[in-house]
Structure 1
Amino acid sequence: MTTDIAVQPRRAAKASQKRKLMIEAIAVIAIALILILIMPMLLTGFRLNLLGRFLALGIVALGIDLIWGFTGLLSLGHGIFFGLGGYAFAMYLELNTLGEGQLPEFFGLYGVTELPWFWQPFNSLPFTLLAIFTIPAIVAGLLGYLVFRNRIRGVYFSILTQAALVVFFNLFNGQQKLINGTNGLKTSTSVFMGQQVGSDGMRMFFYISTVIALIAMYALCRWLTSGRFGRMLVAIRDDENRVRFSGYDPTAFKVLVFAVSGAIAGIAGALYTVQSGIISPQVMDIAFSIEMVIWVAVGGRATLVGAVLGAVLVNMARSLLSERFPDVWLFFQGALFLIVVTALPDGIIGWGRRQFGSAVSSALGLTPTDVPYASDSDSVVEAVPEFAEK
């Protein structure tokens, strides 16, 4: 009898969890279909291209939310990984457009007569597709290992990531002979799959690819954060010392999640590059990396959905306001962030859950505990032992 009483709540919780996942999957598929089938009919080519860019930025926001919202690591240098992914794809496009034996045009301006060694692997499309996320992941993993093994965290971690960003920005900005420095690499006139990247057909192709990649990265982040691994990340965020005293080494977990976040940013950078038409060291500017954090804060930390929503809404608002108020639109952006920090600390999603969470969960047949608020999480005392269960 005692066993039945203990098992019944678990069964009910599992059934509710499955129902919630089913509802979430249906919602995600519905949104994807709207983006792919309906939005192209409602928007002009220019606006659709802008939406594609914003969705690509939503992908990098997912990576930020993964390490900041769930793990408590505030990175101010994600422009590094975003730029590495963009440069990897741009280098392939640059070489793919040329005839055999030809060099990119800017090489001739600086007297370079032979293709540099690090350009040569990007003649291969399979290598390029692999490099788009593996190179940022490796760089993030190495940087994370050097930082986390010394137990550096908090504001010191943020400062170090920003310092690394400055190093990469100056490195790429000064390599005029090798990667065209401040001018960057243009992709809009490059050829991919026999068509010009800037053509209407390829723009639609990359837009659909961005939607698919966004869904895939969302599914990956949801998988990582919904199981035992996710509970360990939350435990590290809430009390890393308690995790360490419980017999776990947080370093490996933090290095892994930082590498995954870097890989996600690399994919976002590649998709953004082909839709914006150029990649330059400006994507490694400090302000751009700080904006990424703002998107997540506006949407809601530790929600994933909020990260994407914040990225799309903030960039959409910036685009519209900069068109109508080109001189003062930055003040609107600053005011938005101040409003979120002071009045909506949990972001748009957190506010919506507080206002409508109970009604929505009741309508869907979910218990209140099934709605994961951004500011709520399992305690470390519960999270660590649960992770250790078989």
Structure 2
Amino acid sequence: MMERLHTNTTRKWLLFGVYMLSSVSLFLAPYMLSDFRLNLLAKFLAFAILAIGLDLIWGYTGILSLGQGVFFGLGGYCMAMYLKLESSGGKLPDFMSWSGLEALPWFWVPFQSFWFTLLMIVLVPMALAGLLGFFTFKNRIRGVYFTILTQALVIIAVTLFVGQQAYTGGTNGITGYRTILGFSMSDPTVKQTLYWITAAVLIGVFFFARWLTKTRFSRVLRAVSEGENRVRFLGYDPTYYKTFVFMLSAGLAGIAGALFVLHVGIISPSMMGIVPSIEMVLWVAIGGRGTLLGAVIGTLLINYAKTGFSEAYPDGWLFFLGGLFVIVVIFLPRGIMGLLQDGYRYVKRKVSQHEKRTYFALGKSDRGV
């Protein structure tokens, strides 16, 4: 009993040290990286926020969604609409003029308010996820059928945003922002501040998700993942739990999309497609499902590998990236975190065996002393 308590305490302190070191490193990054590398890191941190939400629904609840790109895009478009209106100085955005519009569409008007935009970044993706999730989960659509349904959502959303060029910018999307709240987005100080905001949001989201996974609510989610019918027989309605966590993941994806726009300066329907949505699932799978930290590690590792391979081998980087995916999926089915956990258990077992051999090698007199 005491040995188990000591092990748990050591593990908690070890994790605390990892979290603190990671947090400090994130906030010190602007002083160690170039502007280009800092911008890349900021973009990857935004992706990590989405990955945490995806891990909550897939790793903890067993719901595989291939439509997270839609929620990511909705959050990005909400932020882009505000930035475009501010940068145009109250005039009609250029792509609307080219399409023949003479007045600002009614649903664009409220996005002149920054605070309304912040609200919509979260509420719009959550509302769509709540509508889709409630009716599908209520009708007990799950597994591969739900996954296919989310793919259909992606196709519908991309087709809609491409077709409505006068309102969404079409295939080119929305770009050409210059200011946010009156500050120039090209100012290095503004870029640094936006990076710190993104890092702070990621840390806050991570610890919120970690707290959530320690509550009774998380136990129900895991029970739903392992046996939904048993949960229903115990008196819980899985529909509401699954819908809530699906909405939560969509809200996090919307936040990630908005932060992505601030750092990259563009949002288009291509970022909402099936391929980006599948990549998002790979981030979590390679990092390790059901670990949260694995989702963050997988996101950063894969995106940095993608960038590094494309820079070093512009003609063959896709082969390197594909090989990395194959190796991890075949040899590390539990992801990177699974490998680290196995390594930790191996070291702990070896240390325990060494302590036992040392104990039995000592004489009674030595043990008495």
TM-score (norm 1): 0.85
Say how many residue pairs are matched. Answer: 351
1:173 to 147, 155, 162: 162
Query: How far did 1:19 drift?
Result: 7.3
Aligned partners of 2:273, 2:227: CA distance in 1, in Å? 32
Tell me if structure 2 keeps the 8 A contact 1:196–1:202: yes
Q: Quote the residue 2:94 is aligned against.
A: 105
Q: 1:150 to 1:26 in 2, by over 3 A?
A: same
Q: 1:14 to 1:232 in 2, by over 3 A?
A: farther
Q: Quote the residue 2:129 is aligned against.
A: 140
**Does the alignment pair 1:51 with 2:41?**
yes
Q: 1:80 to 1:110 in 2, by over 3 A?
A: same
Tell me if structure 1 keeps the 8 A contact 2:309–2:321: no
Matched residue SS, 1:88: helix
CA distances 1:4-42 after superposition (whole Å, capped 9, x unpaired)? xxxxxx9998998787556544532331211112x2222
Q: Quote the residue 1:338 is aligned against.
A: 326
**Does the alignment pair 1:31 with 2:22?**
yes
Q: Quote the residue 2:364 is aligned against.
A: none
Q: Quote the residue 1:154 is aligned against.
A: 143
Matched residue SS, 1:357: helix
Q: Quote the residue 2:50 is aligned against.
A: 60
1:191-340 matched pairs, under 5 angstroms:
191-340=179-328
Tell me if structure 2 keeps the 8 A contact 1:28–1:215: no
Matched residue SS, 2:213: helix
Q: Structure 1 counterpart of 2:153, which letter?
A: A
Q: Structure 2 counterpart of 1:33, which letter?
A: V
Q: Structure 1 counterpart of 2:229, which letter?
A: N
Q: Quote the residue 1:82 is aligned against.
A: 72
Tell me if structure 1 keeps the 8 A contact 2:70–2:273: no
Matched residue SS, 1:43: coil
Specify the structure having the higher radius of gyration (Cα).
Answer: 2
**Does the alignment pair 1:94 with 2:80?**
no
CA distances 1:121-165 after superposition (whole Å, capped 9, x unpaired)? 101111111111111111111111121111011111100001011
Aligned partners of 1:44, 1:269: CA distance in 2, in Å? 23
Structure 2: where are the runs of 5+ without partners? 352-369
CA distances 1:55-87 after superposition (whole Å, capped 9, x unpaired)? 111111111111000000000010010000000
CA distances 1:311-351 after superposition (whole Å, capped 9, x unpaired)? 00000000010111122211222222211221100000101
Aligned partners of 1:360, 1:220: CA distance in 2, in Å? 29
Q: Quote the residue 1:367 is aligned against.
A: none
CA distances 1:277-322 after superposition (whole Å, capped 9, x unpaired)? 1011111111000000001011000000000100000000000101
Aligned partners of 2:7, 2:226: CA distance in 1, in Å? 26
* Alignment RMSD: 2.1
Query: How far did 1:245 drift?
Result: 1.5
Q: 1:113 to 1:276 in 2, by over 3 A?
A: same
Aligned partners of 1:210, 1:47: CA distance in 2, in Å? 15
Q: 1:150 to 1:12 in 2, by over 3 A?
A: farther
Aligned partners of 2:38, 2:197: CA distance in 1, in Å? 13
Runs (4+) off by over 4 Å: 10-23, 360-363
Q: 1:165 to 1:42 in 2, by over 3 A?
A: same
Q: 1:45 to 1:192 in 2, by over 3 A?
A: same
The percent identity for this pair of structures is 48
Q: Quote the residue 1:4 is aligned against.
A: none
Aligned partners of 1:211, 1:284: CA distance in 2, in Å? 23
Q: Which stretch shifts more, 25-34 or 68-77?
A: 25-34
Tell me if structure 2 keeps the 8 A contact 1:198–1:277: no
Aligned partners of 2:7, 2:220: CA distance in 1, in Å? 22
Q: Which stretch shifts more, 112-121 or 12-21?
A: 12-21
Tell me if structure 1 keeps the 8 A contact 2:43–2:260: yes
Q: 1:360 to 1:295 in 2, by over 3 A?
A: farther
Q: 1:116 to 1:239 in 2, by over 3 A?
A: same
Q: 1:361 to 1:127 in 2, by over 3 A?
A: farther
CA distances 1:176-198 after superposition (whole Å, capped 9, x unpaired)? 111111111115x4211322223
Tell me if structure 2 keeps the 8 A contact 1:84–1:269: yes
Aligned partners of 2:46, 2:210: CA distance in 1, in Å? 18
Matched residue SS, 2:105: coil
Aligned partners of 2:350, 2:199: CA distance in 1, in Å? 31
Q: Quote the residue 1:127 is aligned against.
A: 116
CA distances 1:221-246 after superposition (whole Å, capped 9, x unpaired)? 11111111111111111111111111
